[in-house]
Structure 1
Amino acid sequence: MAQRTLNKLSATFVAKTKDPGRHSDGGGLYLAIDGDGRRRWLFMYTRAGKRTELGLGSGRDLKLADARTLAGEMRAAIERGEDPRSVRAKDKPGQTFGEFADAFVAHKKPSWKNAKHAAQWEMTLTKYAAKLRPIRLDQITTADVLGVLRPLWTKTPETAERLRGRIERVLDAAKAVGLRSGENPARWKANLDTSSLGDRTRLNRGNHTALPYEQLPAFMQRLRTQRGTAPLLLEFTILTAVRTGEALGAKWGEIDFGKAVWTVPAERMKVKAAKEGTGQHRVPLSARALELLRSIHDTLPEADRQPDKYVFGRTPTDMLSNMAMGMLLRRMGVTVKDTSSPPKDKFVTVHGFRSTFRDWAAETTPFPHEVCEMALAHTIKNKAEAAYRRGDLFEKRRALMASWAAYCG
């Protein structure tokens, strides 16, 4: 390739330009800037009649001179009849965490349907993992990972756990392509769990034994094979993440099928919430929750589906026992091992499914803390935050509950 076609960009242009698009440096090297201002280096080439694009790293972390050096080695590899990806693999042991993390997110982003999810990944791996970004991938240690987790671990535990999981995935990917060797320093089991961080935050408190969220889809399949009112009530309770009393007392007048909303009156909410003026609780109903309600509603005589009649009553005017769902779980033999020594089997409780929901939301979704807390109708402990937030984040909660129903299903 003629020398005159190379080195079109200046260091000043690379540092300052914000114009979206692909800016050619010549010889197949491009600085790509997206609509949000994120920048990365690309190498484009044609081999065996096929045009290919390779990501070289973040435009923030990979300097122009280094990008040119890497592109030059790739062009030389092509002239030798080699695959230029072999050059990238050779260079990768010197890659930093920041360069690889940006490339990892860019590679995964097309498969993530939720744009907010991608934004959360980018933010946490840029802001919270800032201390890791300049460190070479093959030099990152458990101490380095602890250094970014400790400031968040007790202050914002959900953010810390998400960050830990994302760092672990990035480092796993780096190992898979030969950038690292040995154990993953961000792994929890037999690694960080023995550190000074302490236990991971879970909502499995007191006697409310919870089913691990990983086991929930299989449990829901079993639950849907059961017959009677209690299984329907339990599934509805899980799908809506409400408290037992709120589900037991549900009446047809509280259900708006057209708007897919269930409005729980203030007097049936938790006493503490009522005292603090939380008021009624609007619950967004997922497609599955509506289907379940329809399956009951449409089989009842008109007199039994009036606004004042119970949805899950023993009779339309008699509430089902508050032990019905607990006894169902015992009959199904739904247990988990506790942490005693030796471990013992403990029956999962109905209230524990709220913990299951909360752990699932915190560890596997991008939904913010306040949305998850409002889905559980938790009161806001911070008075300043409570005064500031007047809405109930309903549409955001609707999206959360739809994701939850899909996971359950």
Structure 2
Amino acid sequence: MAKRELRKLGTAKEVERIKAAGRHSDGGGLCLLIGAKGGRSWVFRYRRPGGGGNDLGLGSADKEGVSLADARERSEELRAQLRKGIDPTAERKAGAMVGTTFGEFADDFLESIKAGFKGRTSHADWKRDIEVRAANLRPKLLPDITANDVLGVLSPIWLTIPRTARETRSRIERVLSAAKAKGLRSGENPAMWRGNLKELLPKAKRSKRHHKAADYKDVPGIVQVLRTKHKAADTAVNLAAEFIILTAVRTGEARFMRKQEINFKERLWTIPAERMKTEDDAEGKEHEVPLCDRAIAILKAVMPKDLSLEAYVFAGQWSRDHSKPLGMNSVLHTLQKIYPDMTTHGCRSSFRDWCGDETQVAREVAEMALAHKVGDEVEQAYRRGTALKKRRELMEMWGRYVEGESKVVKLAAGG
């Protein structure tokens, strides 16, 4: 194969005389690039190892910039890298990152992942942890961070605010894992839990946060008050509160419900995976919610006939076109006006207590109705095919109880 021609542009004086806009090849990937307004620069054009074409800027080609000789010398160095299978652009980026501190890298990393956050406060929580909680790590070079440095961040808060401390550790670990993936660190992650920090930190007691809940025996009365208020004020928020009670879902899952998620024929609401409650970096799973008669009636009552598929079902107070969802605390305030010792999350607790006290439904079915993880992946896969029918029976029974029926047919135990 013939060698590619080099030095096609001639001498430096000949290069100076080139005025036409466009790309002028010197051979071997080196090009003189002249813009429409006369700007001149050197560019190295090459094909990435195992990839497509790429341009790597070498600097200005003006009199005060990179000379022709220097540009040719640099392009020869780049061709040598390519012969070794090295991507010059990746090499340049890696070189630019040498000496990067934890703070610099963490800030860039947060910017790169924030689009994937699901939680409303996720970005603010991350920012707090990498800027405030991990302040002592920020000036340290990435390769120099040790387990003792991470302990310095965690030890003062490990027993006093354990949940925050656990989240901070997890985020530090993720930042350092990303740094290693970019070649900026090597060896084990100093923020790793198992076989590392687990052996160095005291065991913190995990305290369960209990949401205020109404006694399930009071739920039918609460729903009757909601219906009375709806007739008087004609507000969607009272119907939304009743719908949340009937379906035992989280408030956010109902607030952001869109028309396209509802299958009236199957009497089923499918909540997309991205809206299910998960950690920032976890993959959610879609959840199917069987709809009882009253739940169906509520949906038809709050949705105009010409509502678009993308529109929110429960619209905000001033959103006539349903382009904005119901306010975050509107349902909570409505419920607490009726029953002060009640929260929207507590509605789920009332439902679960009723399942345990008043039915013989299997624990797994009740937990799956709440979208709680049950068993390992094998067990989940096994139950997926049969649980929907049993959950539909359960939600119909709950709907009848909420309607005020004193006697309901108890589901038989069994998965």
Does TM-score exceed 0.5, indicating one fold?
Answer: no
Q: TM bucket by the smaller chain? A: 0.3 to 0.5
| TM-score for both structures, normalised by structure 1 | 0.44
TM-score (norm 2): 0.43
Structure with bigger RCO (C-alpha 8 Å, 6+ apart): 1
CA radius of gyration, larger in: 2
